[in-house]
Amino acid sequence: MSRGILAVGAYTPENRVPAEAFEEAWGRFDAPGVETKAVPDADEDALTMGVQAARRALSASEVAGEAVDRLAVATTTPPLEEEDLTARVGSYLNVPADSVRRTYAGSTRAGIDALLEAIDGDGTALVVVADCPEGEPDDSREHAAGAGAAAFLVGEDAPAVVTGRATHADVRPGTRFRQHGSENVEGLDIGTYDRAAFTEPIEAAVDALEDADAEAIALQAPNGKLPYRTNLDAEAIAAVETVSSLGDTAAASVPLSLAESFRSGHERTLGVAWGSGAGATVFVVEGTAPVEASLDGDRELDYPAYLRRRGDIVGEKPDGGAAHVPVPTWRRSLPQRHRHEAGVCPECGAVAFPPDGACPDCLSLVEFEPVEPELEGVVDAATTIGQGGAPPEFAEQQARQGAFGVAIVRFDAEGGEVSLPMQVAGGASVDDRVRAVPRRVYVEEGVPRYGLKAITL
C-alpha cells in the first residue's frame, strides 16, 4: 500500500441554530438547503476546534503527537491575522518542536491544498483544517456560516490513497472575499456570474480527471443549493454532505464531507474543493480510513443567544485584570495549561502538579519525569460564577455565554492522581465525569490565551 490517509478526526461545536430562528428574526432565511448550522461557543475558535479534531485523528490511529514529523494547519478564520498557529496547536498535541510546520490560509481550498501536499511529502504528517466564517447579520453568507474542523494523519501503508487529481483556475473575482481588517465574508452577489464562478472551474477540473466516477462526492458547499448546480451526481453529493446540518464550514467543508464518506464506508470518493478567485482542486480517494468524529450538536440556540455567542450584542470588556499573568510566566506554564503536564517523582513515584520544586510526598528536590494525566476526570468540588462574580478578563465570555462553573477535578496520572482547578463550560456537579478540552481562556493585550477547560460527559 502507498502513502495516503491513515486516520481522520472531526469535531463540531455543540451549539446549533435552526433556520427557523433566522426566519423569525428577519422574516427570511437566505441559506437554501441549510436546516441548522453549528456555532462556536464564546471560548471556541478555529484553533480550539482544530485541536479537538487533531486529538481524534491521533486517537483513531493510536499515534502519539510525539511521532508527528510534519504539522500543517489550514483555516480562513485564524484567531489573529498574523501568527503561526502551528506553534500553539503543536503544543496542545505535544508535537516535537523541530517538526516541519506549514500554515495554509486565504482560500476555502486551503484545507485540501494542505492535505494533498502532505500526501506528496514524507514522514508522518498531521493536517488540521478548521473554520468558522462570519458575515454581516443580514447577509446570505452569514445565514449559511457554520463551524467545524477535520484532521488527517498521513503516512505510509495507508488504507486510503489518492489515485488521481486535477486543478483548474479561472479569473472570477468578487464572488467571495474578506477585506483586509474585516471579519466578514462578502460577495458582489451577481447571480449568474456567481454560479458560473463556482460551477465552471469545478466542472473543468473534474473533466480533466481520467476517471471521476465515485460512490460519494465531497463537494465544497457555500450553501445547500449551489453544489447541485454543478453537473455532478446529485445522489453522490447528498450521500456525504454536511452543509444541511453544519452550514458553510469554508476550508473544512470538503474535509468534513470526506470524513463522513469514510465513516459511511464509501470505497471511492471524489473530493472537490473550490475557492473564490476562482479555482478548483479535485481528487479521487480509494479506500477508507478509521474515523473518530462527533458531528452532532444538541444545544439549540435562539437568535438572541446566537448573537450573544457572536459578540454582536455584548458590551466592551471592563478595564483591569485581576487574573493577569505576565506573558513570560504564562509561556513557562504552557505544558500545564495545554496538556496538564505533571511530573512523577523518581524517588517515591508520587505525582506532582505543577512538576516544580520539592516532591509533595517525600519532600525531595528532584527532577520530575514528565507525565500527562488522563483527559477524563471526576469533579470533587464545584461552584458557579454568575453575573459580576468573574474577574474582568472573563466578563466578555460571561456576557456572551452566561454563567460558568469552576471545579476541582481529579485526573488519573501514572498510578497516581492530580487535582486541578478548572473552568467548566456550562457547569458541573460533584461526582460528574468531565473531559478536559482546549478553549480560549481570555484575551490579554490583544493576544488570545488558551488553556484547558472541562465539559461534562
What is the pLDDT confidence band of residue 132, given thresholds at 50, 70 and 90? very high
What is the pLDDT confidence band of residue 392, given thresholds at 50, 70 and 90? low
What is the pLDDT confidence band of residue 334, given thresholds at 50, 70 and 90? very high
pLDDT at 22: 94
Task: Tell me the per-residue pLDDT of 103-128, one tens digit each, with 9 for 90 and over.
Answer: 999 999 999 999 999 999 999 999 99
**Neighbouring residues of 328: CB distance < 8 A, sequence distance ≥ 6:** none
Segment holding 91, helix H or strand E:
helix 85-93
- Please give the radius of gyration of the chain, using alpha carbons only, rounded to the nearest integer: 22
Question: Looking at the predicted structure, is the pLDDT value of residue 312 above 80?
Answer: no
Mean pLDDT for the stretch of residues 85-95: 97
pLDDT at 311: 76
pLDDT at 426: 77
What is the pLDDT confidence band of residue 314, given thresholds at 50, 70 and 90? low
Q: What is the DSSP string of 335-346?
A: HHHHH--EEE-T
pLDDT at 159: 97
**Neighbouring residues of 97: CB distance < 8 A, sequence distance ≥ 6:** 90
pLDDT at 373: 93
Q: Are strands 404-413 and 416-424 parallel, antiparallel or unpaired?
A: antiparallel
Distances (CA, A) of 92 to 74, 95, 437: 16, 8, 10
- Domains belonging to the chain, first-starting first, are 4-310 (3.40.47.10), 327-456 (no CATH)
Q: Which has the minimum average pLDDT: 62-71, 97-106, 220-229, 354-363?
A: 354-363
Distance from the Cα of residue 39 to its chain's centroid: 12
E strand segments, 134-215: 148-155, 161-172
What is the average pLDDT value for the chain, to the nearest integer?
A: 92
Q: Which has the minimum average pLDDT: 37-51, 396-410, 425-439?
A: 396-410
Residues in the chain: 457
**Neighbouring residues of 298: CB distance < 8 A, sequence distance ≥ 6:** 14, 16
Which residue shows C-alpha cell 459511511?
A: 264
State the Cα–Cα distance between residues 32 and 252, nearest whole angstrom.
19
Calculate ∠ Cα 388-389-395, nearest 5°. Answer: 60
Residues 284, 164 contacting (CB under 8 angstroms): yes
Q: Which has the minimum average pLDDT: 124-128, 204-208, 414-418?
A: 414-418
Task: Tell me the per-residue pLDDT of 429-439, one tens digit each, with 9 for 90 and over.
Answer: 999 999 999 99
What is the pLDDT confidence band of residue 387, given thresholds at 50, 70 and 90? low
Q: What is the DSSP string of 244-284?
A: HHH-B-GGGHHHHHHHHHHHHT-SEEEEEEEETEEEEEEEE
Mean pLDDT for the stretch of residues 154-178: 95
State the cell numbers at 426. Answer: 456550562
Distance from the Cα of residue 419 to its chain's centroid: 28
Residue 99, helix vs strand vs coil: coil
Residue 167, helix vs strand vs coil: strand
Distance from the Cα of residue 368 to its chain's centroid: 33
Question: Looking at the predicted structure, is the pLDDT value of residue 322 above 60?
Answer: no
Question: Looking at the predicted structure, is the pLDDT value of residue 457 above 80?
Answer: yes
Of these ranges, 244-258, 378-392, 405-419, the one predicted with the greatest mean pLDDT is 244-258
Q: Which amino acid is at 101?
A: R
State the Cα–Cα distance between residues 417 and 16, nearest whole angstrom.
36
State the Cα–Cα distance between residues 47 and 437, nearest whole angstrom.
12
Which residue shows C-alpha cell 465531497?
A: 218
Mean pLDDT for the stretch of residues 3-19: 97
What is the pLDDT confidence band of residue 400, given thresholds at 50, 70 and 90? confident
pLDDT at 315: 54
pLDDT at 385: 79
